[in-house]
Structure 1
Amino acid sequence: MEKERLGAFMDAVLAIIMTILVLDLKEPKTFDLQGLWELRESFFAYTLSFFWLGTMWINLHREYSAVEKISQKTVWAALLVLFFSSLFPYATRLISLAFYSSSMQVVYGVISLLISISVLYYTYTLEEANPNLDAVHRYKMKRLSWMKWDMPIKLIGLILSATLFPPAMSLALLFNLCILVIPNQLKN
């Protein structure tokens, strides 16, 4: 498969997934500021998920631009990324409906961890298919440098959501986005 075809497919599916997120926003019970305020958890969940998927897309795009060829493993790894990403609107809907539910936050956290793990595998397959490309290796090393913080923070959020403080998973993702991911992307 040509690299452009896989890239276009991933872009299209991620765009659809991000669009589906907005379809789950409910209408307010009353059409005033109070009605909108009652939906604050829904808007928070939507915003967090949209920007989390958006930053993932930006990272994937940056890595992918340096790639010269892809392997069959890369195609399957991309499908894994898209599969787990396609579950994100569902998980977002669950936490928007029951933001303070430990179970729903854990589902959200598990799906975000599965997406992160599948992205790491996808990155590995790109480097494997392009062993002599220094740019691919640099992107992988850069990703691993902040993922060593990203994954433990997500795991702590998951554990706290399951035991003590249900919104901890969403807050862990927000922290990662605002402190690790977005500032790292804006530097480059």
Structure 2
Amino acid sequence: MTSERLEAFSDGVLAIIITIMVLELEAPKEYTLEAFFEIVPTFISYLVSFLYVSVYWVTHHQLFKIAEKINGKVLWSNLYLLFWLSVIPFTTGWIGQGNHHTDVVPVVLYGFVLLMSQLSFLLLRNSIIKIHEKKSPIAVHFNRLTMDFACVSIYVIGLSSAFLNTYISMALFLLVGLLKVVELNSISKRIQSIY
């Protein structure tokens, strides 16, 4: 089974996710700095969410660029990832409305969705690695257990710290996104050296 249809479908879903998120952004109703500062939490939540969706899109592209085969488990794992990514606009919008960025429940739900996105991507990646040889390029370049453990640990700390301070949680979620960008850059360089 080839991956072209899976990639095309995934690209479409991710494009819709970004479109929904940007439609949630509303311009201030007044032309004052105070009105602008009122929408800053909404913009920051959009920025962090856009970073995440972008990282998953690029990583997904690179993963399937060197995947030689897929199976039914990969298809279902991909849909599981897309489900969690599709919930990001909802949690982004909830955090961005009013002062919900300081409320525990929206921040915990946002972090939980990001954590589940991470875990579902790991499931997808491991499903692909299992149908390839252990020394295949996909297994060598995408099996990053130390970074995986670090990201999951930071998510758990971020979820726990939301009960103390939601700003710490959001900073930790942003940290994971930035770590993913660094990791993605490293993977990109290694893949380009091969292909």
2:154 paired with 1:149: no
Unmatched 5+ stretches in structure 1: none
Matches within 5 A, 1:131-170: 131=133, 134-142=136-144, 144-161=145-162, 163-170=163-170
TM-score, normalised relative to structure 1? 0.92
Shift of 1:128: 1.6
Shift of 1:64: 1.2
Matches within 5 A, 1:28-177: 28-97=28-97, 98-131=100-133, 134-142=136-144, 144-161=145-162, 163-177=163-177
The number of residue pairs the alignment matches comes to 185
Cα distance per residue 1:40-94 (max 9 Å; x no partner): 0000000000011101111111111111110100000000000111100000011
Distance 1:153 1:147 in 2: 10
Name 1:181's counterpart in structure 2.
Answer: 180
Indicate if the aligned counterparts of 1:73 and 1:125 stay in contact, CA closer than 8 A: yes
2:16 paired with 1:23: no
Unmatched 5+ stretches in structure 2: 190-195
In percent, how many aligned pairs have the same letter?
29
SS for the counterpart of 2:47 is helix
Distance 1:50 1:99 in 2: 17
Cα distance per residue 1:21-56 (max 9 Å; x no partner): 111112313123332221000000000000111011
Name 2:193's counterpart in structure 1.
Answer: none
One-letter code aligned to 1:146: M
